[in-house]
């Protein structure tokens, strides 16, 4: 809309950077949250033993099978029988690897107001200069949000939230070679209700993250490393 509407900054950005948006990566699981179990997390794979679902955000090959992912089928974070056993994780893998000149991946989650970056599957820092670049970009992202809405998002490595193996963020960094982030959206602390905030929170949350994504895109247009020189 900004491009068609004559917003010069957005026009310049979209003339330099392509954005690809997948609005829903767990359609079967999401549908199930409206019909049966509101806070269902996994997909709806039939595990063949009376249980259903794989947490496909534990199904990627980076760190797969490590701590922070269940190895039993009825666990909420069941990792699946093997890396990329799920159509959702395979689809995102194949899509990402087919994008030319890709630079960033951002995964939007609920909730906790965090900007997470690799690594998630253990507490060993990723090597420099990647660690410094990720940290600086995460801080800049949080700074943009604070300037737009006054809400504080904390930029930290994913393992500081908790250890999680086989996650999408680590795979996009380690295997696809991208700068990779997980955004945990509003609220900062809300119990299970944080997964379903009131409708009044939706637009402000979108607006603050939209502004931050535009700034990330601008760093791609300038050259990510050049952004910090």
Distance of alpha carbon 177 from alpha carbon 105, whole angstroms: 10
Backbone angles phi and psi of 117, in degrees to 5: -140, 165
Cβ burial of 21 (10 Å; 0-12, 13-18, 19+) is exposed
Q: Is 133 helix (H, G, I), strand (E, B) or coil?
A: helix
Tokens 């402000």 belong to 204
Residue 101 token pair: 């000149």
Q: What is the DSSP string of 8-64?
A: HHHHHHHTT------S-S-HHHHHHHHHT-TT--S---B-SSS-B---GGG-SSTTT
Show the beta-strand stretches assigned E in the chain.
104-110, 114-117, 154-157, 179-185
Task: Identify whether the C-beta of residue 77 lies closer than 8 Å to the C-beta of residue 162.
Answer: no
Q: Is 175 helix (H, G, I), strand (E, B) or coil?
A: coil
Residues serving a catalytic function are 184
Distance of alpha carbon 60 from alpha carbon 174, whole angstroms: 11
């Amino acid at each position: 809309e900004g491009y068609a509407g004559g917003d010069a900054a957005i026009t310049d950005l979209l003339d330099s950077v392509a954005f690809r948006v997948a609005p829903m990566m767990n359609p079967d699981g999401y549908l199930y949250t409206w019909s049966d179990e509101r806070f269902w997390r996994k997909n709806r794979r039939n595990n063949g033993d009376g249980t259903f679902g794989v947490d496909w955000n534990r199904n990627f090959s980076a760190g797969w099978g490590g701590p922070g992912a269940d190895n039993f089928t009825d666990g909420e974070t069941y990792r699946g029988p093997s890396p990329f056993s799920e159509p959702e994780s395979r689809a995102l893998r194949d899509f990402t690897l087919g994008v030319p000149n890709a630079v960033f991946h951002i995964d939007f989650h609920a909730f906790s107001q965090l900007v997470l970056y690799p690594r998630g599957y253990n507490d060993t820092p990723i090597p420099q200069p990647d660690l410094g670049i990720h940290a600086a970009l995460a801080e800049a992202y949080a700074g943009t949000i604070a300037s737009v809405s006054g809400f504080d998002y904390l930029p930290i490595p994913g393992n500081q939230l908790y250890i999680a193996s086989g996650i999408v963020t680590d795979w996009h960094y380690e295997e696809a070679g991208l700068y990779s982030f997980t955004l945990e959206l509003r609220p900062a602390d809300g119990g299970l209700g944080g997964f379903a905030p009131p409708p009044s929170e939706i637009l402000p949350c979108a607006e603050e993250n939209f502004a931050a994504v535009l700034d990330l895109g601008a760093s791609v247009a300038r050259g990510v490393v050049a952004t910090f020189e």
